[in-house]
Chain A
């Protein structure tokens, strides 16, 4: 089965891409994940058609006479918030912001972090040193201050939030990728590849990167939750979406202290974030299994 000289790896590049999606659909968890993602995306895109309310509509009957929000009921399926706005509507519209942050911003941070970490870990030497010290610097960087400064200079927009998140969130990914790549780069099979004359790029992409896929998936999927919540803090500081624009993160953030009096305000957006992150995780895990170099020929 496995050759004693080149034990673990077989070239990834050859064939399996075509069958991958098909294989994906055959795994139940992956299906669930894909379905969830589809629901969220569709919900975000079709939001105006799905509810009767607008996300910023403060409805007089949405609050009790003493100003309390209403729990889920016949009119407001997920309840109302502190300004009498329908929570379901806000979650649907908020999906747009959160999808953008969770996928795009998080994705960019992931790519940057992986690139820097892998290059630093593989080349070591002074490139590795410079890159890692730069990573240290960015880890110590006062991101909060940057956010406050940007808030004063620029009009708040989601792009600035995405920028700050990408700027800030890549560092941890880089550190972990660096450590793993350092270890991988020293493994025997890499040496073997080098002795047969494989160039660095080939080694990086064909041999090292695939082994990092599991870590990438872990970091990418957990990062969705973290960045969505981080967006709330950044918007609070004034650089992201401004009220009354909803996002899952800022709905939670605004209503944190009310979680006892009005738990639905924290529970539902929280569940949405959880669902999205889990969905990507299911899909990612399944993809990982399919693309796994060591699993070739076993599924």
Chain B
């Protein structure tokens, strides 16, 4: 039996966000000017624009502009709002989600979107032949296992009730499900276009988004054009966006200073940071914002001496985080827990381990290791990570831990971390976890949970606490938004317990600094959007059009 929450607390929350009407809840900025084009640069190539596959820094929000999902976030924030869904119902047991879709949403090829398309899109991601990196996100849907193994055609738990209503039945209550409905992997694709292009759909994307693909010159540029039939009238503001690729960040900055581009997509290079911030004119155009990111030092609990919790705690106390942050021109904020501070569930009152060299040495002595330790510290070889690792190395040396640095290519470090006794310590910089969606559970599963402590996994500390896993599951089954506080508190407790066991030494959370050209307009938080990274293309505009 399905009981709708609309009459009760969810409705209250929903209305508070102002979403019940069919008109654009993610409303266009009244001050925005319509028209104009901007240019954004990136260093790495855009691999693909297929929402089932794209999982890179560059294409993540590019895909969000070409496609839509059932849910999205208020621009510049981490608040969920319905997107392609007009409204939704969650059953009382939290295991059935029913979405009512908007009418009149058209794909870029003109056809109207229906619930069939939604089912097709998610079935496609779960289908093993697609080789989608996002397959696992849908594991809580009934019928996932058979579909993921290729034994069934489509996920049985997804039902098309009518052309504008779709129902998801889960095997367990999942508090993160709405976030999963907002993630790129759920975005809706038209079946006929996928079948027409096959594996090349990623280079010929067709979606329902605010922009459509105009031109793609391989290796040089991708051009987005405004979708005039976009269902959210008034968006996007821009007529087109040109993404230029293969651009070195320093040169991109030079071009920005020369007025040729609007936003360097990879940010301000460390070498130029001080120069920019010391110039008041440029500093005024820099937007600073938090990221759902934490940089941490992992300690492999399988490799002595890190199997001793005292040693791990000593490491936590040995590191002078302020100095490390100074090494990167204060572009980060010291961290004392795994969650980044802009993540819901962050414990503001938690103090963490203080910087206390004497206490650290004491702990080492208690562990019987005051004679000194020699170990390896793995780090990714791109700047500024080896520098940070050397800073950490010096701090460790001060308490008697001699850490030999192994600066390797990213893939090699990841491979070492995925081996049970591969890497004793890893500085995660450059490969650190950035949240897939703004929810505390996302920082647990793959990197601190037992599920990630497997060969090839991302839990490089190989920390596995079955009790915490159980507690995590419990927390994630609290679907009722009214109990969100309770859930966040549970997660807070989980992370505090993790810090007691100290498999990690969290060091800092990087801030994002976006430098924009003078003509860019729109609220600041659009330029440091925590989800549509780095910039929310749909909502920004330029000031120099009529």
Contacts and interface: CB of A to CB of B under 8 A. Distances in A.
A58 B151 CA distance: 59
B404 A237 contact: no
Q: At the interface, is chain B mostly helix, strand, loop or mixed?
A: helix
Contact of B387 (A83, A156, A242, A261): A83
Contacts of B394: 56, 58
A238 B408 contact: yes
A151 B412 CA distance: 9
A238 B413 CA distance: 11
A65 B322 CA distance: 11
Nearest to B326: A67
Interface stretch (B28-36, B58-66, B265-273): B265-273
A81 to B, nearest CB: 9
Contacts of A254: 383, 386-387
A261 B274 contact: yes
A68 B326 CA distance: 9
B391 A66 contact: no
A243 interface: yes
A83 B274 contact: no
Contact-size category for B: 20 to 34
A36 interface: no
B15 interface: no
Given A58-B391, A66-B330, A257-B250, A242 B405 contact: yes
A243 B386 contact: yes
A2 interface: no
B412 A148 contact: yes
A257 B270 contact: yes
A257 B275 CA distance: 13
Nearest to B386: A243
B386 A238 contact: no
A63 B250 CA distance: 22
B333 interface: no
A109 to B, nearest CB: 24
A63 B415 CA distance: 35
B14 interface: no
B132 interface: no
A90 to B, nearest CB: 12
B271 A260 contact: yes
Contacts of B393: 244
A58 B395 CA distance: 10
A227 B275 CA distance: 33
A45 to B, nearest CB: 25
Contact of A258 (B271, B381, B386, B406): B271
A137 B146 CA distance: 49
Given A63-B326, A67-B328, A261-B274, A152 B415 contact: yes
A287 B271 CA distance: 44
A219 interface: no
Interface in B237-280: 250, 269-272, 274-275
Interface in B364-380: none
Contacts of B326: 63, 65-67
A190 interface: no
A238 B329 contact: no
A100 B395 CA distance: 31
Contacts of A242: 404-407
Contacts of B406: 156, 238, 242
Nearest to A258: B271
A91 to B, nearest CB: 17
Interface in B279-330: 323, 326-330
B250, B391, B404, B408 pick with most chain A CB within 10 angstroms: B408
Interface string A28-72: 000000000000000000000000000010101001011110000
Contacts of B329: 66-68
A131 B405 CA distance: 40
B397 to A, nearest CB: 9
Nearest to A68: B274
A58, A65, A148 pick with most chain B CB within 10 angstroms: A58
Contacts of A243: 386, 389-390, 405, 407
A82 interface: yes
Nearest to A253: B383
A189 interface: no
A58 B412 CA distance: 28
Q: Top 7 closest A-B pairs, CB basis? A: A257-B271, A238-B408, A258-B271, A67-B326, A67-B329, A243-B386, A243-B405
Interface of A: 56, 58, 60, 63, 65-68, 82-83, 148, 151-152, 156, 236-238, 242-244, 254, 257-258, 260-261
Given A66-B326, A83-B391, A244-B393, 8 more contacts: A63-B327, A65-B326, A67-B330, A83-B387, A151-B408, A236-B407, A238-B407, A243-B389
6 contacts: A58-B390, A58-B391, A63-B327, A68-B329, A237-B409, A242-B407
Interface of B: 250, 269-272, 274-275, 323, 326-330, 381, 383-384, 386-387, 389-391, 393-394, 404-409, 412, 415
